[in-house]
Amino acid sequence: MNLHALTAHALLDLFKSGKASAKEAYEAVVGRIKSIDPKVKAYVHLSRSQPHYAGEFQIPIAIKDNLCTKGEEITCASRILKGFRSPYDAGVIERIKKSGGSILGIVNMDEFAFGSSCETSCYGPTFNPWNLQCVPGGSSGGSAASVAADEAMWALGSDTGGSIRQPASFCGIVGLKPTYGRVSRYGLIAFASSLDQIGPLTKDVRDCALLMNIISGYDERDSTSVNEPVPDYTRALVNDVRGLKIGIPKEAFVEGLDAEVRRAVESALDLLKKQGAVIKEVSLPHTPYAVATYYIVATAEASSNLARFDGVRYGLRVQPGKVRKNALVDMYEETRSKGFGDEAKRRIMLGTYALSSGYYDAYYLRGQKVRTLIKNDLDQVFKDCDVIMTPTSPTVAFKVGEKVSDPLSMYLSDIYTIPANLAGIPAISVPCGFSKSGLPIGFQLMGRAFDEEMLLRVSYTYEQNTEWHLKKPTI
């Protein structure tokens, strides 16, 4: 039996019946990583510590390189954090360890989560397990690729504008961005604090519910964490959508959407309709402004959050050879110029511009106001619909290098995923087919704030009536 190829819930069943041990599972996955990862390059490094094999959920897990994990080098895939050995555990890492989880290692991402392809990493790109010439998506590309390639049972990622859902879609797995505040951000290295949320990347919907049970909940160390009761998400795994209302935004099925992706999402919709769901055309009129709003709000917050990387305390420090301004300012500038990659510099500078004197009202304040309009559109639709369905991404995975020199075209690949972050609502990506070229396609469901259960129920029903989630790449 190939233990590495199982889902976490199948593995837990084997543990219960005594047919496999957590140690065997962990070793099987490490073996898989050693044989496959030289091709996929999902991992930045394997864990420095051995698992303890105690607890209810002794599942081997991969951790994105922006989640502080005690004793591990955590770098956000950036040169500027090289050598930063985290002295503490993030809130979610504490929960994973308490549940018995075995940390396999740290996985790749776009530098500071700035990207949709995993190509801006200082370690070089991760490759899509379904086609090694394609990107795995991003920014949680290492998380998605590791799970799709059976190099982890499940993984944690973070999602600021689609960074869990888009790679999940590109790699043919399930990815959920929880409601803002559902999961503690304590110990997540911040990109855009009002948008960031940590979430699960898993092989199926049941695993998604299980991992949500582990990581969700209030944490007083994150002042934006919301003190609401956490349900048992596995109770939402019901194969029944009769009478549920699915909203289809007419703005979603327009120019720029790949024909194969469109067909796959429409057949998924047909299936849910046959299962008894009610389909309703709705309108989100401000959708065309979502990407522009996001790139103002997110970069402004990023420029502020990334000001802390200055060479003073930890990570990289570079002192230039000759004095330019004064020793300290020279050190800041040289460290940041050598430490950040081009995309990070571009976003920091864009955010600095949006916040700078004379431009604040025209860009940042206006962006926050349009954010309100986008949120209002969604609130309006959710008065009458239980979920909103769209493609997760307008295309399947693109080739490595294809979009790297055109930042704007890369940004536009997040067009479907960004609104959920701006509105703070939960959203999931679920596999729903393949292109002729053999690359996975996913659909996205958005739900009301704190109604992850509805997303899980509809996704589970779809999954129970299809077999896409059972397909495996040949690597």
Partner 1 sequence: MPITKEDVKYIAALARIDVPEDKLEGMTKSLGGIVQYVEKLQELDVADVKPTSHAVPVGNVLRPDIIKPSLTNQEALAIAVEAKDGCFKVPLVIE
277-296 binders of partner 1 (CB under 8 A): 286, 288-289, 291-293, 295-296
Size of the site for partner 1 (CB under 8 A): 72
Counting contacts by CB under 8 A, is residue 350 touching partner 1?
A: yes
Residue 258 Cβ vs partner 1, minimum distance, rounded to whole Å: 21
Instruction: Report how far apart the first and last C-alpha atoms of the chain are (Å, whole number).
Output: 18
Distances from the Cα of 180 to the Cα of 160, 175, 422, angstroms: 10, 15, 10
C-beta of 169 vs 303, nearer to partner 1: 303
Q: Pick out residues in 381-410 that bind partner 1 (CB under 8 A).
A: 407-408
Residue 160 Cβ vs partner 1, minimum distance, rounded to whole Å: 13
Q: Pick out residues in 18-37 that bind partner 1 (CB under 8 A).
A: none
* Cα–Cα dist 401/445, whole Å: 29
Q: Pick out residues in 443-462 that bind partner 1 (CB under 8 A).
A: 449
Counting contacts by CB under 8 A, is residue 254 touching partner 1?
A: no
C-beta of 185 vs 469, nearer to partner 1: 185
Q: Pick out residues in 302-341 that bind partner 1 (CB under 8 A).
A: 303, 307, 310-317, 319, 326-334, 336-337, 340
* Cα–Cα dist 82/74, whole Å: 8
Which positions from 139 to 178 touch partner 1 by CB under 8 A, shown as an x/- string? ----------------------------------------
Residue 216 Cβ vs partner 1, minimum distance, rounded to whole Å: 15
Residue 170 C-alpha from the chain's centroid: 12
* Cα–Cα dist 385/247, whole Å: 6
Task: Tell me how many degrees the CA angle 91-96-101 measures, rounded to the nearest 5.
Answer: 160
Ranges assigned E (strand) in 23-153: 43-46, 60-64, 102-107
* Cα–Cα dist 241/454, whole Å: 10
Residue 299 Cβ vs partner 1, minimum distance, rounded to whole Å: 9
- Name the CA dihedral angle for 139, 144, 146, 148, rounded to a multiple of 10 degrees: -150
Residue 92 Cβ vs partner 1, minimum distance, rounded to whole Å: 18
C-beta of 7 vs 160, nearer to partner 1: 160
C-beta of 165 vs 336, nearer to partner 1: 336
* Cα–Cα dist 62/51, whole Å: 13
User: What letter would DSSP give residue 422?
Assistant: H
* Selection from 149, 138, 98 nearest residue 116 by Cα: 138
* Cα–Cα dist 343/349, whole Å: 10
Counting contacts by CB under 8 A, is residue 223 touching partner 1?
A: yes
Counting contacts by CB under 8 A, is residue 367 touching partner 1?
A: yes
C-beta of 21 vs 376, nearer to partner 1: 376
CB 116: neighbour CB atoms within 10 A? 29
Residues serving a catalytic function are 64, 139, 163
* Contact (CB, 8 A) for 302 and 353: no
Counting contacts by CB under 8 A, is residue 115 touching partner 1?
A: no
Instruction: Work out which of 48, 97, 262, 346 binds partner 1, going by CB under 8 A.
Output: 346
* Contact (CB, 8 A) for 133 and 99: no
C-beta of 156 vs 298, nearer to partner 1: 298
Residue 317 Cβ vs partner 1, minimum distance, rounded to whole Å: 4
Q: Pick out residues in 179-198 that bind partner 1 (CB under 8 A).
A: 179-181, 194
Counting contacts by CB under 8 A, is residue 17 touching partner 1?
A: no
C-beta of 53 vs 88, nearer to partner 1: 88
Counting contacts by CB under 8 A, is residue 426 touching partner 1?
A: no
* Cα–Cα dist 211/156, whole Å: 9
